[in-house]
């Protein structure tokens, strides 16, 4: 069950709207906007809850109709959703969900499009009671695409595998249910990424130049891997039981319960002998698998060398007579050298230009030398004349003399103006 706080923290599931959201929506037939609001709120909650609480769902790629209503109930308020069928129908119409009953039938792309356009509208449950179809599951398209990629990558590193072996591994390593694996394998097979032959699953990868094996050989390798897997599990469990029996024997001896200690010790010895044989058998199977893988790698190397040697042979055949090719190249090089010599002979006499450039270069050097010598000469220091010490009378006469000198030019200019009253 989804925690109630996840539902109640959704902003669309306010306290005032809970009664309407958990009804069968029949009272909203004449209120399309209210019906659309309720359906939209539930669509958002269903998909968000998958992300927030993935561990609360049995399958990663689908909703289970038998438990969906119970998962989204609010026991503290006595509310059970009765309108989920309308929500599911809308998601199916939008192709967000695909009923598993339809997913199993591969109609091809054209058939699916025709069914969506002209086929009858899917009904997931009863409109009055809101109960969903029993035993139906609704595959989530986005989750199916995501986990199919994950399973495909996982299988590519372990192919081929018996289907039960793959289910066990995917359950432990990817936390996928058997239903998840079945849906993902169906999707991958339709995309021609895997081949399912009986109980054996193998990857189809045209980019890998693997050694071609017959279906019987593929099945044998897959069965060998599954046998190793099951024997490893058996040995681990048996070893655990042997240790438990040993501990119990010690406990009985400590309590002086020798009859029970003797019985448990016999069982322990028998299991230990059985474990030893099983371990030896497992060792032989593992070594056999390693030999098969080694031989497969050797065959792959041989095939790669053969294909590449054919490529080299084909390329060499296209080259032709190497000696004639080299001779032709040398002749062309000779023609190019001869052309370069003729072009060099056609160049003009540039001796006058060279002489002028040398003269300019000499003048520039002399100019630089003169500037360098000038900058190297020290500047003459100006002598600061100390003012002469004179008395007051001499100072007055000096000032008077300076004043008369300043006035003389003015007098001359006035005299000149009187002598020449008219402008020139």
Q: Which of 98-102, 337-341, 409-413 has the lowest mean pLDDT?
A: 409-413
pLDDT level of residue 208 (50, 70, 90 thresholds): low
Candidates 220, 230, 212; CA nearest to 288 is 220
pLDDT at 328 over 90: no
pLDDT at 23 over 70: yes
pLDDT of residue 26: 84
% of the chain surpassing 90 pLDDT: 50
Tens digits of residue pLDDT in 157-200: 888 999 999 999 999 999 999 999 999 999 999 999 999 998 99
pLDDT at 392 over 70: no
| Cβ(176)–Cβ(165) below 8 Å | no
CA distances from 306 to 113, 298, 300, 312 (A): 47, 12, 10, 10
Q: What are the φ/ψ torsions at residue 107 (nearest 5 degrees)?
A: -90, 0
Q: Domains of the chain: which residue ranges?
A: 4-203, 215-311
Tens digits of residue pLDDT in 76-112: 999 999 999 999 999 999 999 999 999 988 765 555 5
| Cβ(133)–Cβ(125) below 8 Å | yes
Cα–Cα distance, 227 to 165 (Å, whole number): 9
Cα–Cα distance, 289 to 12 (Å, whole number): 58
- 270: CB partners within 8 A, 6+ apart: none
Helix crossing, 141-156 with 178-190: angle to 10°?
A: 80
- 101: CB partners within 8 A, 6+ apart: 136
- 197: CB partners within 8 A, 6+ apart: 215, 218, 219
- 349: CB partners within 8 A, 6+ apart: none
Q: What angle do CA 421, 422, 424 make, to 5 degrees?
A: 130
pLDDT of residue 224: 94
pTM (predicted TM-score) = 0.65
pLDDT of residue 206: 55
pLDDT of residue 424: 40
Tens digits of residue pLDDT in 122-167: 888 887 777 888 999 999 999 999 999 999 999 988 889 999 999 9
pLDDT of residue 349: 57
Cα–Cα distance, 17 to 28 (Å, whole number): 13
Listing from the earlier edge strand, what are the strands of the sheet with 161-162? 161-162, 200-203, 194-197
pLDDT level of residue 274 (50, 70, 90 thresholds): very high
């Amino acid at each position: 069950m989804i925690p109630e706080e996840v539902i109640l923290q959704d902003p669309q599931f306010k306290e005032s709207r809970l009664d309407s959201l958990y009804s069968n929506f029949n009272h909203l037939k004449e209120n399309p906007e209210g019906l659309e609001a309720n359906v939209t709120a539930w669509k958002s909650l269903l998909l968000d809850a998958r992300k927030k609480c993935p561990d609360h769902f049995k399958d990663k790629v689908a909703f289970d109709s038998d438990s969906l209503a119970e998962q989204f109930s609010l026991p503290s308020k006595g509310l059970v959703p009765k309108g989920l069928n309308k929500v599911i129908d809308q998601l199916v119409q939008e192709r967000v969900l695909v009923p598993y009953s339809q997913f199993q039938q591969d109609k091809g792309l054209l058939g699916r499009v025709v069914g969506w356009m002209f086929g009858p509208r899917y009904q997931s449950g009863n409109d009055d009671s809101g109960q969903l179809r029993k035993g139906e599951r609704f595959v989530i398209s986005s989750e199916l695409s995501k986990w199919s990629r994950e399973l495909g990558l996982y299988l590519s590193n372990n192919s081929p595998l018996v289907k039960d072996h793959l289910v066990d591994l995917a359950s432990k390593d990817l936390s996928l249910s058997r239903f998840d694996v079945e849906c993902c394998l169906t999707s991958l097979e339709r995309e021609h990424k895997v081949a399912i032959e009986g109980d054996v699953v193998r990857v189809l990868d045209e980019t890998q130049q693997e050694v071609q094996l017959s279906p019987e050989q593929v099945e044998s390798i897959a069965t060998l891997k599954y046998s190793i897997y099951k024997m490893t599990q058996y040995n681990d469990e048996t070893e655990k039981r042997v240790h438990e029996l040993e501990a119990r024997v010690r406990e009985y001896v400590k309590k002086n319960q020798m009859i029970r200690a003797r019985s448990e010790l016999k069982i322990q010895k028998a299991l230990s002998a059985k474990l030893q044989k099983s371990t030896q058998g497992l060792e032989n199977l593992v070594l056999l698998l390693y030999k098969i893988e080694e031989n497969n790698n050797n065959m792959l190397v041989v095939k790669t060398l053969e294909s590449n040697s054919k490529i080299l042979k084909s390329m060499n055949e296209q080259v032709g007579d190497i000696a004639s090719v080299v001779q032709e190249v040398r002749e062309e090089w000779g023609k190019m050298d001869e052309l370069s010599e003729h072009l060099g002979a056609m160049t003009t006499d540039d001796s006058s230009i060279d002489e002028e450039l040398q003269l300019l270069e000499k003048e520039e050097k002399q100019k630089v030398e003169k500037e360098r010598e000038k900058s190297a000469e020290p500047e003459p220091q100006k002598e600061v004349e100390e003012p002469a010490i004179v008395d007051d009378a001499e100072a007055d006469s000096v000032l008077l003399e300076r004043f008369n000198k300043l006035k003389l030019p003015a007098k001359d200019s006035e005299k000149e103006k009187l002598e020449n009253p008219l402008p020139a």
